[in-house]
Amino acid sequence: MSGDRFYFKLALHRCINEIWYGRNFWQYLLVPFACFYGAVVWARKMAYESGVLNVFRARVPVLVVGNVSVGGTGKTPLTIWLASRLTDFGFKPGIVCGGYRGRAKSWPQQVRADSDNYVVGDEAIILAANTSVPVVAGPDRGQSVKALLEKHDVDIVLCDDGMQHYALARDIEIAVINGVQRLGNGKLLPAGPLRESRERLAEVDMIVCNGIPARGEFAMKYKADELRKVGNTELTFPLKEFGEKHVHAVAGIGNPESFFSLLESLGFLLDRHVFPDHHSFEEGDIEFGDNKPILMTEKDAVKCTRLKNENMWYLPLNIELSSAFEDRLKSILKGLLSG
């Protein structure tokens, strides 16, 4: 990416964040466009619910993980956690995801941990690498579910980031929200960060909050205990044994501050480097003129495996959810299967 284009994208990203999450008069100028967007969203949803547009219903239950806002909230880590727990419960889950930014010539794509992120997208690789269940990526979630069921013995489907994909029928919906940014200014795109109105949250089965939950929400907390070498995941360092604490922190994600705050809470002193969400990293992006370690998220690490820098590490994240959430999930599944 050329320097001018990169800085333009970064400036645009910062400007949008100021509008969506701050007190900025520009948001009011965008309200007419948000009203038009909201009308289109509502009409599309009604078209699927009324049968005007076809909806694919799988022969097995479908559990959708999503949100009503743009940006990273923790959907993929939760999907990974759910795949593990459903396996523990005796299910045989499979996962479908959108393959965002993947450049495959045909969809859907069966995904393995060693698949090319250029082809299937970075989030699909993360799902495959961190679970032992089959993963299929593709923008048409219904076609992806068909491909998953044709190739694999699956009795429940997890759909990562699928709340607005109404062409796929779902049996359970779990919404994830950011505990710090919440719903921003509460306005629909482009005046705010919402893909659907806040009232949509009243329709879901559970709300998970990545941070401090509000009433009726389940808290999701990140935990991290090691760093892994980018390009060689077998080389790990316990955080307590990682000697260098002054590091370069690189983030090309929707909410970089959450990653930076986590690193600081772990005792690191940061030189921060923010990139646009889903940034495609090049060699020059991580050349800082010193030998400080470079720390990044797993999402960014997937896109940096081809780079030659030998001082890149990523922080694999696991999540913790309460027993109350597990009990609620079991109850919903029991009711679904007995009904």
Q: CA separation (Å) from 274 to 11, 26, 59, 265?
A: 11, 23, 43, 18
pLDDT in tens, 182-236: 999 999 999 999 999 999 999 999 999 988 899 999 999 988 889 999 988 888 9
Residue 5: pLDDT over 90: no
**Per-residue confidence (pLDDT) for residue 289, from 0 to 100:** 87
194 class by beta-carbon count within 10 Å (0-12 exposed, 13-18 middle, 19+ buried): buried
Select the more confidently predicted residue: 308 or 324.
Answer: 324
* pTM, entire model: 0.91
**Per-residue confidence (pLDDT) for residue 257, from 0 to 100:** 85
Name the residue type at position 112.
R
Averaged confidence pLDDT in the chain: 92
Nearest-angstrom CA–CA distance, 327 and 322: 9
pLDDT in tens, 59-111: 999 999 999 998 778 899 999 999 999 999 999 999 999 998 899 999 999 99
